[in-house]
Amino acid sequence: MNDRLSHDAPLGGAHTPSAGRLARLREAMAAAGLAAYVVPSSDPHLSEYLPKRWQARQWLSGFTGSAGTLVVTADFAGVWADSRYWVQAQAELAGTGIELVKMAGGAQTQAHVEWLANRLTAGERVGVDGAVLGLAAARTLRDALEARSIALVTDRDLLDTVWSDRPALPASPVYEHALTHACAGRSEKLSLVRAAMRECAAQWHWISTLDDVAWLTNLRGADVNFNPVFVAHMLVGLDEATLFVGAGKVPADIAAALDRDGIRIAPYEHARAALAALPAGSTLLIDPRRVTFGSREAVPGTVKIVEAVNPSTFAKSRKTGAQAEHVRWTMEQDGAALAEFFAWFEGALGRETITELTIDERLTAERARRPGFVSPSFATIAGFNANGAMPHYRATPAEHARIEGDGLLLIDSGGQYVTGTTDITRVVPVGATTEAQRRDFTIVLKGMIALSRARFPRGIRSPMLDAIARAPVWEAGFDYGHGTGHGVGYFLNVHEGPQVIAHYAQPEPHTAMEAGMITSVEPGVYRPGRWGVRIENLVLSRADGETEFGAFLAFETLTLCPIDTRCVMVPLLRDDERAWLNAYHETVRARVSPLVGANAKAWLDARTQPI
């Protein structure tokens, strides 16, 4: 924790929406006998992107970042956020009376827990809605508080009291992910999950995470921004399965198909009662990282609990050969959209008014022209110069930059296609660039190439790969405050596990790298107030031979878009690094050129010339 908190911090912000909302929350806290209330960025499914009903932290504080925890006491309110959001949070919290508490790295994601334990006194009570608090997080919070004789109250959703116009559950209908694209049927997937249940001697398995539910049912939805999932829980037995979903969300024909596959539909609000009704003496499999404390508390004490990673999490992370082929085709289409966009951008620069908002609009429009496109896979990040130094920057109509003058433009974007999910970051020059900018770009490129070319033992814990990309960055004397890679779903969440390439993540057995996983490779460097550089491709883990020391894996680069060589300091690259980049560009040109018009083809030819 970098910021020291004062117990006498000024409340301020008396006339902001947040001030009135916090005042009502404090009244509800006092009535419930709570000294503090915790509002996580979470929902009953532990989603990354939240349906509006559960955007409580944003509603109370005004901070719109996708991660952060709000803590409120009678005389203090603070949002704990990591370095990705510091600049954004400082701007959005200004004048609200809510402090930004800076967390310096992933290892301190529970820093607010320590603060609560030290701030409160024995006999006081802390409230949090257990229905949206992850089980692992709840255990950490409870243990820390109980050690100081502070009680944790988890059965109070005070937002229902103070949020008078709280949004309802999403109502849009679900739809089928066609078998030709899904590549495996529901019955096959249920059989796989049940085999894993039997290995754990479990008769029941509870699933709350929306991407797991969507994968298992071969259904998709639009309840969450950017991820094609729908709000539901699922209880899987050895001979039956129940999908708990909102009324009217499942069309009759899909309901009939689900029934034929042994999946019955029940009201969403009956999920907790179903857990409470599990037979005495039975065994329930849950993933403690992917269920909430409220779900766990609903299980009777007579039911044995087995904790393990959801079998579906492993299964969906390992794309089949057919899915990999679909993804390769998708990358060609996405690459074509990017080529058309960049051809327009370079032609329009200096001739048309272009802003960071224009970038988002034009990129999305180009992707929408490609077959199978459904939506962006996350909010496009287009950051020019200083804005590019904020890893999770988001341009808004009120605050955005015009693309003019000299500098670097960072664009992080992606698409959801029925045949795969894309995620790519490129940095391009605008006008003249400085030697320092080109040096940063080249060092980051060296890190990206190093990991992209890596060969490693099958089963290595994915966090251990992080240092391969960081080595050139560390050698140059700088670092970046986010992970190097995350798993990517197959027409599902753009961020998925179990693999994660980040040195601050625990290298646990479930993080092992396996063939078929799609992972991002995205090192960066950020100069606050000046510029940022991040270069990102998606890669596929695939078998790469076997020796007397075991099986090995290597990465196949999937993303197909030139890396702008105008930003490269060629003398900093070794011969093998230049060879990798030239071969990559040759592949991009060969696979994408047939799919684009004349202007984009000319742009591809120019941007893929060897160096």
Q: Look at phi and psi of residue 46 and say left if phi exceeds 0, alpha if psi is from -120 to 50, else beta.
A: left
Q: Are residues 153 and 183 in the same domain?
A: no
- Buried/exposed 282-317: b ≥16 CB within 10 Å, e otherwise: ebbbbbbbbbbbbbbbbbeeebeeeebbbbbbbbbb
pLDDT for residue 14 is more than 90: no
Number of domains into which the chain is organized = 3
pLDDT for residue 109 is more than 80: no
Q: Residue 195: what pLDDT?
A: 98
Q: Are residues 31 and 59 in the same domain?
A: yes
Q: Are residues 526 and 493 in the same domain?
A: yes
Q: Are residues 310 and 360 in the same domain?
A: no
pLDDT for residue 526 is more than 50: yes
Residue 51: which residues within 8 A CB-CB, separation 6 or more? 43, 167, 169, 170, 223, 224, 231
Q: Residue 452: what pLDDT?
A: 98
Q: Are residues 38 and 85 in the same domain?
A: yes
Q: Residue 18: what pLDDT?
A: 86
Evaluate whether residue 436 is within a structural domain.
Answer: yes
How far is residue 87's CA from residue 390's CA, in Å, rounded to a whole number?
7
pLDDT for residue 16 is more than 80: no
Q: Among 394, 360, 381, which residue's Cα sits nearest to residue 88?
A: 394
Q: Are residues 216 and 363 in the same domain?
A: no
Evaluate whether residue 266 is within a structural domain.
Answer: yes
Asked whether 268 and 231 are in contact (CB, 8 A), the reply is yes
Mean pLDDT of the chain: 94
Q: Residue 244: what pLDDT?
A: 98
Q: Are residues 375 and 248 in the same domain?
A: no
79-93, 262-276, 328-342, 585-599: least confident range? 79-93
Q: Are residues 406 and 509 in the same domain?
A: yes
Asked whether 509 and 491 are in contact (CB, 8 A), the reply is no
Evaluate whether residue 167 is within a structural domain.
Answer: no
Backbone angles phi, psi at 551, to 5 degrees: -80, 145
96-110, 220-234, 281-295, 510-524: least confident range? 96-110
pLDDT digits (tens, 9 = 90+) for 24-40: 999 999 999 999 999 99
Asked whether 478 and 488 are in contact (CB, 8 A), the reply is no
Evaluate whether residue 44 is within a structural domain.
Answer: yes
Entry pTM: 0.91
Q: Are residues 145 and 231 in the same domain?
A: no
222-226, 326-330, 431-435: least confident range? 222-226
Average pLDDT rounded to a whole number, residues 17-26: 92
Evaluate whether residue 147 is within a structural domain.
Answer: yes
Q: Residue 156: what pLDDT?
A: 87
pLDDT for residue 259 is more than 70: yes
pLDDT for residue 6 is more than 60: no
pLDDT digits (tens, 9 = 90+) for 354-380: 999 999 999 999 999 999 999 999 999
Among the candidates 285, 316, 347, a domain finishes at 316
Backbone angles phi, psi at 553, to 5 degrees: -120, 160
pLDDT for residue 5 is more than 50: no
Evaluate whether residue 170 is within a structural domain.
Answer: no
Q: Which domain holds residue 117?
A: 17-162
pLDDT digits (tens, 9 = 90+) for 111-152: 899 999 999 999 999 999 999 999 989 999 999 999 999 999
Beta strands in 133-260 (DSSP E): 151-153, 175-176, 204-207, 219-220, 232-237, 241-245
Torsion angle of alpha carbons 108, 114, 119, 123, nearest 10°?
Answer: 150
Evaluate whether residue 348 is within a structural domain.
Answer: yes
Q: 393 pLDDT band (50/70/90 cuts)?
A: confident
Q: Residue 67: what pLDDT?
A: 86
Evaluate whether residue 334 is within a structural domain.
Answer: yes
Q: Among 530, 572, 537, which residue's Cα sits nearest to residue 433?
A: 530
pLDDT for residue 519 is more than 50: yes
> Residue type at 201?
A
Among the candidates 273, 288, 316, a domain finishes at 316
Q: Are residues 42 and 125 in the same domain?
A: yes
Q: 1 pLDDT band (50/70/90 cuts)?
A: very low
Q: Are residues 82 and 202 in the same domain?
A: no
Q: Are residues 336 and 277 in the same domain?
A: no
CATH of the domain at 326: 3.90.230.10
pLDDT digits (tens, 9 = 90+) for 50-73: 999 999 999 999 998 888 999 999
CATH of the domain at 40: 3.40.350.10
Q: Residue 7: what pLDDT?
A: 27
Q: Residue 66: what pLDDT?
A: 82
pLDDT digits (tens, 9 = 90+) for 303-321: 999 999 999 999 999 999 9
Among the candidates 123, 138, 162, a domain finishes at 162
Share of the chain above pLDDT 70, in %: 97
